[in-house]
Structure 1
């Protein structure tokens, strides 16, 4: 099978790896519009479940990805001068540049052709054409009416930065200004750097003058605002051609259908989920896994593409719902920010709940704690019941 993929991100590269592992005779070419080694962003996050799935499918790439990742298991929230820390699930960070380099190296070793500075604007002659070229996919755009693409912009402004401060936990920092709240998400991705995403409401963005400042002025102001968590470390921007760091709003992208003939959408070309749940890279790679499975299981391409879309749409329902509620939680931050930090942080962890926006925060916190205690009692009962029964049986047997 001849496969051509537009987009050399995690989705396109990992699909190429999986297809080559399934059948080394596949003729696979990946086209990437940017030069090799150039990428946007800083570090990306993923969780233990993804690493386990990578291990099951390709232990070699899983091993090197794990080796070049950093991990954490705590979350820390700073609100004004107060701090709270919670222990949670094991998370991982890896530089996006490093991840792409590792996947590209693995793909090349398997015989995949990688063409950099090569942008596809029309589907080429191939058995399968994969549009994994991001939210602004040119291949999808050529058939926008068929795919039914819809882009919905969010309200808040955000910027993706790096920093030389290496966070030892997934860190949230909320700072109050005369123009409203501004907050940061920080996580390490190497021994030298962390990602720092900064977000605020549009009125805070303009009130602070960030809309009028150049990159240097923006970074200086942000370093001052977040001095308490940066510990004197600097922020690193990615200036645009105009010299101003690229603030933007998140765009939720959906498509009515994900395939047309032999053209199929993958990753951000098919769907986006708000960055606050840290799942973008994971979902893109899982798309690749699902498409590779469907192609292996169905000999007819239309059946394979239909099965891929059906499965992934179903899998994404809960994730996309969580992402929508997470984005709304931050857009309504004043509703939660004045709670005691430990309570605010607890509701931050519950921000995916569809019930939370409709219940007073203090009441929701109390109900959540009560449910938690009830669940503990249920687990204790399930554990203690059989033990108590065995103990009674042992005593009655010895009495005989």
Structure 2
């Protein structure tokens, strides 16, 4: 099979790796419009379960990704001048550029051709390809030429956000909520490599304009954010990229959905097919899982269309829970004033419950009490399951001794 992957992100690179592993005779080219080594974003986060899936699909790249990742554990929330912690959650971070370099190196070692500074905006530009994989992101040019067929819908979120980096090392996934005269502004931060962390800042449009961030240049905006988040940053600077006009890259999140994911020999993967709000940290994971599913659907299949249909069915079903979680997570932050006045432990607990479809419809204090009661009931059930066999053995031993 001759394959053209349009877009050199995680989905396209990983798909090319898996296809070459399945059959080295596949003729695969990855077309990337940007120069080699250039990328957006700072670091990405993922959860331990992804490593198991990557190891099953390609142990070599899984080992490389794990070796270049850093681990964080637990969560910390700065709410004004108060701090609360949550223990238990664990995840990984890796620099996006490092991830792409590792996947590109692995793909090239298997015989995949990588072409940079080569934009492909139409399937006709890959005329001999048996399969064209559109992994060209949220603004997919290939998808854009057939929006009617794909049934593409794009919904813009209300809040504004900017993706930044910092030299402050966050060993836990950290949230910081700061009240200003114009409303609350907050950040999510996590470590992605030694000595560096990602810091995503978000706020409502009213806060964004009230603080003057809509007209601030990159340096001016970063200085303001450094002052606002001085406590969690411990005096460390923020870094960010600017647009051509010198302004900061603030934007609203766009949720992309498609009614169908393929057309003839063109198939969508990753952000070209679907997006999930960054607050659940699933974008890169879902893109890699798309690649695994597409390669699996094509394995040993003599006919392309049934394989693409099978891929679409599997992935649409698989991402339903993530899409729901992302939708409610984004809504939670848009409704932040509803929760921010709770006591910090309660507010942080509901932050962890933000994926719940019930939470927006129940008073926060009542939801918190119900959630704690349910947790205690589960604890009692676990205790009962643990005690049951032990009590039974003790009673059996005593009854046996009495009979003797």
TM-score range, shorter chain: over 0.9
- What RMSD, in angstroms, separates the aligned Cα atoms of the two structures? 0.9
1:180 alignment partner in structure 2: 183
1:36 has 2:39 as partner: no
1:389 has 2:386 as partner: no
Aligned-partner SS, 1:313:
helix
> After superposition, what is the alpha-carbon deviation per residue over 1:300-349, rounded to whole angstroms, capped at 9, x for unaligned?
21111011000100011111000000000000000000111111000000
2:56 alignment partner in structure 1: 56
Offset of residue 399 of structure 1:
2.7
1:293 has 2:293 as partner: no
Offset of residue 396 of structure 1:
2.1
Question: What is the distance in 1 between the residues matched to 2:11 and 2:89?
Answer: 24
Question: What is the distance in 2 between the residues matched to 1:206 and 1:325?
Answer: 25
Question: What is the distance in 2 between the residues matched to 1:273 and 1:378?
Answer: 35
Question: What is the distance in 2 between the residues matched to 1:64 and 1:35?
Answer: 23
Aligned-partner SS, 2:299:
helix
Q: Bigger CA drift: 154-163 or 120-129?
A: 120-129
Question: What is the distance in 1 between the residues matched to 2:311 and 2:397?
Answer: 55
> After superposition, what is the alpha-carbon deviation per residue over 1:136-160, rounded to whole angstroms, capped at 9, x for unaligned?
1111111111111110000000000
After TM superposition, the score normalised by the length of structure 2 is 0.98
What is the correspondence of 1:365-384 to structure 2 with a 5 Å cutoff? 365-384=368-387
Offset of residue 380 of structure 1:
1.3
Question: What is the distance in 2 between the residues matched to 1:179 and 1:162?
Answer: 24
1:68 alignment partner in structure 2: 68
Aligned-partner SS, 1:246:
coil
Question: What is the distance in 2 between the residues matched to 1:25 and 1:225?
Answer: 56
Question: What is the distance in 2 between the residues matched to 1:372 and 1:205?
Answer: 38
1:224 alignment partner in structure 2: 227
Question: What is the distance in 1 between the residues matched to 2:302 and 2:76?
Answer: 49
> After superposition, what is the alpha-carbon deviation per residue over 1:9-67, rounded to whole angstroms, capped at 9, x for unaligned?
00000000111111111111000111000000000000000011111221111111111
Conservation of the 8 A alpha-carbon contact between 1:108 and 1:114? yes
Which of the residues 188, 193, 198 maps onto 1:195?
Answer: 198
> After superposition, what is the alpha-carbon deviation per residue over 1:47-94, rounded to whole angstroms, capped at 9, x for unaligned?
000011111221111111111111111100000110011112210000
Conservation of the 8 A alpha-carbon contact between 1:170 and 1:187? yes
Gaps of 5+ in 1: none
> After superposition, what is the alpha-carbon deviation per residue over 1:268-298, rounded to whole angstroms, capped at 9, x for unaligned?
0000000000000000000001111111153
Question: What is the distance in 2 between the residues matched to 1:288 and 1:53?
Answer: 11
Aligned-partner SS, 1:378:
helix
2:275 alignment partner in structure 1: 272
2:101 alignment partner in structure 1: 101
Question: What is the distance in 1 between the residues matched to 2:394 and 2:303?
Answer: 60
1:166 alignment partner in structure 2: 169
> After superposition, what is the alpha-carbon deviation per residue over 1:176-216, rounded to whole angstroms, capped at 9, x for unaligned?
00000000001011112110000000000000001111111
1:145 alignment partner in structure 2: 148
Conservation of the 8 A alpha-carbon contact between 2:47 and 2:91? yes
Aligned-partner SS, 2:319:
helix
Q: How many residues align?
A: 400
Aligned-partner SS, 1:41:
coil
Question: What is the distance in 1 between the residues matched to 2:396 and 2:301?
Answer: 56
Runs of 4+ aligned structure 1 residues displaced above 6 Å come to: none
Q: Bigger CA drift: 246-255 or 385-394?
A: 385-394
Conservation of the 8 A alpha-carbon contact between 1:5 and 1:29? yes
Question: What is the distance in 2 between the residues matched to 1:90 and 1:24?
Answer: 37
1:132 alignment partner in structure 2: 135
Question: What is the distance in 1 between the residues matched to 2:100 and 2:191?
Answer: 17
Cα 1:332–1:297 change in 2 (3 A) is: farther
2:319 alignment partner in structure 1: 316
Aligned-partner SS, 1:203:
helix
Offset of residue 390 of structure 1:
2.2
Which of the residues 214, 224, 231 maps onto 1:211?
Answer: 214
Offset of residue 98 of structure 1:
0.5
Conservation of the 8 A alpha-carbon contact between 1:297 and 1:304? no
